[in-house]
Amino acid sequence: MDKFKKICKELLPYIIIITVVVLIRTFIVTPIRVSGPSMNPTLKNGDIMILNKLSKIDRFDIVVIKSKHLNDVLIKRVIALPGETIEVVNGVIYINGKKLDDKYAYGKTSDVGKMKIPEGEYFVMGDNREVSADSRLFGTFKKSEIKGTTRFTLFPFNRFGFKK
């Protein structure tokens, strides 16, 4: 019995560390890999970022979405929030009738008819507007489909740091 207690005592710190890592990764943060060119030039294909599962979602945040349309994970930028009205005319985005300072757009933004964003949903676009499959194609995304926000690139090391 003493041998069993000794083994348990030696293993306990490792069990605690593994449990904490699993809990953090499951409920707080986890790595995510960018796939495809839809967020160029802000994010590049293959970038590894940290997904924050607890953050509040604001306009221009980069979010990770579990898309039921593609059965895949999408990384996009929040453009319109719940309850707002969005319209894109001649490539210019209007939120609640006011022109949006869209400093992240790369390429021409295709037009979107005037629509009100339902409560609890978000309108998202990729920064590379000409190749991005986003809310212009799929419609809005529910809060429950958004897994969190991402702002920090881990890899490659030459792109290490915060993005906005």
Per the structure, the count of domains in the chain is 1
> Is 8 a member of any domain?
no
> Is 163 a member of any domain?
no
> Is 161 a member of any domain?
no
Catalytic residues: 38, 76
Q: What CATH number is given to the structural domain containing 71?
A: 2.10.109.10
Q: Side chain identity at 58, as an amino acid letter?
A: D
pLDDT the model gives residue 24 = 72
132 CB neighbour count, 10 Å cutoff: 26
CA atoms within 13 A on the CB side of 77: 23
Q: Side chain identity at 67, as an amino acid letter?
A: S
> Is 34 a member of any domain?
yes
Residue numbers of the domain that contains 118? 30-153
pLDDT tens for the 164 residues of the chain, in order: 678 778 778 888 888 888 887 777 777 788 999 999 999 999 999 999 999 998 899 999 999 999 877 778 899 999 999 999 999 999 999 999 999 998 999 999 999 999 999 999 999 999 999 999 999 999 999 999 999 999 889 888 888 888 76
> Is 93 a member of any domain?
yes
> Is 110 a member of any domain?
yes
> Is 37 a member of any domain?
yes
